[in-house]
Amino acid sequence: MPSALFPDQTCLPHVGGGGEAGGRKQGEGPSGPSPSPHLAQTPDDLPYIPNRAAWRRALRKQLHADAPPPARPYSPASYPQCFRGVFAVFLTEDFREVHLAPLTCGKWSCPDCSDRKVARAIAQMLAGDPERHLTLTTRPRPGMRYDHAVKWLRKCFAKLITRARKVWGPQQYFMVPEPHASGWPHLHVLLRGSYIARLWVKRNWADITGSPNIDIKVVRSAPNAARDLAKYLSKSAPILAAFPTKLRPFTHSKGWLPEDFNDPTKLDEVRLFVGLARVSPSVAEETFRLLGCHVAPGQDGPVRIVARPRGPPPTDVAAHLLTYGDSGQRTLAALVASAVPPAGAPRPSIDDVKDRIDYLTDDRRPF
């Protein structure tokens, strides 16, 4: 019997029968032994399932219960702890790929999110092409909170860099505070610009803060310098995140990054935001496969799901998902159906795709 939900499965396993009266031994199907000795022979042998399509899925799952699980492009353990089953959905500019990126809390106090934020900070450090590493230390002020101390140190450094620009010329910086063992912060600064004399920095820092403790050295390896500051950033960011002031754990000058660093036209691949989909990773992967897509892991990490449609989705599968699927399945089905036009039809714009998704996923839409 053909299956509309599973085009690659032309028929369901033999149901019922068996025994001597049918001319076959007990446990054999029409073409030999059943694939699994525990296969349910009737719908009554399975738990209560609301509809026939769900029973077919459960039956198919039992068929492959003894086989090794297929390789997945993701691992549930690789998803952030703060992931709650909501994906941001993107389309590539040529509409050839659908990208699902998990939405996370983005807080520095979250271990998984902080790792990704540190990685982005390292990219910004390297993009600035640092030339010198400056360390600025002051004497602790009793009774001052850590976040207030960081704010005071930044004001002191702003005075120092203003003086340096007047005397030595243009200077760009990337600054990260680090907590000392005593709990008092000091500053690590990556500099790019004209030469600055060590003695001049020492004298002016003492004039501003009352402490002459500084260290400045040439950066011989930018990756090593970025790695050192990333270590300090990992120590300081969770501490600052715990205070209500919510200070940024690092700052940089306006000219530190190249002009085209955040230019989307310079990216290797432009991705267009479509919307959000609340769906589990396993359901998203299975939905894409039912819609005739090739599913593969994304290049940005194992937590992304990338689907490449092979063509317009099967009409009966898309109709079933749009009618009986949950909100996430309806969104993905509407996206593939809207973004992949039939052969010979013009490709829609991204606004047309969004409007079509809104219409197809609307619960008030007449069937």
Give the mean pLDDT of 144-150: 92
Looking at residue 145, what is its pLDDT?
A: 92
Give the mean pLDDT of 265-276: 76
Looking at residue 147, what is its pLDDT?
A: 92
Most trustworthy range by pLDDT among 109-118, 195-204, 295-304: 195-204
| Assigned CATH topology for domain 129-252 | Alpha-Beta Plaits (3.30.70)
Looking at residue 350, what is its pLDDT?
A: 84
Looking at residue 60, what is its pLDDT?
A: 54
Domain parsing of the chain, residue ranges: 1-69, 88-103+270-360, 129-252
Looking at residue 146, what is its pLDDT?
A: 92
The edge-to-edge listing of strands for the beta sheet with 98-102 is 271-278, 86-92, 98-102, 301-309, 293-298
Region of poorest pLDDT, from 93-102, 205-214, 250-259, 261-270: 261-270
Contact 330, 321 (CB under 8 A): yes
Looking at residue 108, what is its pLDDT?
A: 85
Looking at residue 36, what is its pLDDT?
A: 37
Contact 186, 244 (CB under 8 A): no
- 86-104 pLDDT tens trace: 888 988 888 888 888 888 8
Looking at residue 191, what is its pLDDT?
A: 96
Give the mean pLDDT of 37-52: 42
Looking at residue 339, what is its pLDDT?
A: 87
Give the mean pLDDT of 361-366: 67
pLDDT category, 326, cuts 50, 70, 90? confident
- 178-194 pLDDT tens trace: 998 888 999 999 999 99
- 9-44 pLDDT tens trace: 333 333 333 333 334 444 444 444 443 333 333 444
Looking at residue 222, what is its pLDDT?
A: 93
Looking at residue 28, what is its pLDDT?
A: 43
Asked if residue 250 has pLDDT above 50, the reply is yes
Asked if residue 50 has pLDDT above 90, the reply is no
Give the mean pLDDT of 104-114: 84
Higher per-residue confidence, 58 vs 32: 58
Long-range contacts of 240-249 (CB under 8 A, 24+ apart): 240/108, 240/146, 240/147, 240/150, 240/177, 241/107, 241/108, 241/109, 242/109, 243/145, 243/146, 243/147, 245/147, 245/148, 245/151, 247/147, 247/150, 247/151, 249/108, 249/176, 249/177
Asked if residue 342 has pLDDT above 70, the reply is yes
Looking at residue 41, what is its pLDDT?
A: 39
Helical pair 222-241 and 111-127, crossing angle rounded to 10 deg: 140
Residue 16's alpha-carbon distances to 62, 170, 265, 363, in angstroms, are 16, 84, 61, 39
Contact 161, 254 (CB under 8 A): no
Contact 120, 338 (CB under 8 A): no
Higher per-residue confidence, 117 vs 53: 117
Looking at residue 58, what is its pLDDT?
A: 57
On average, the pLDDT of the chain sits at 78
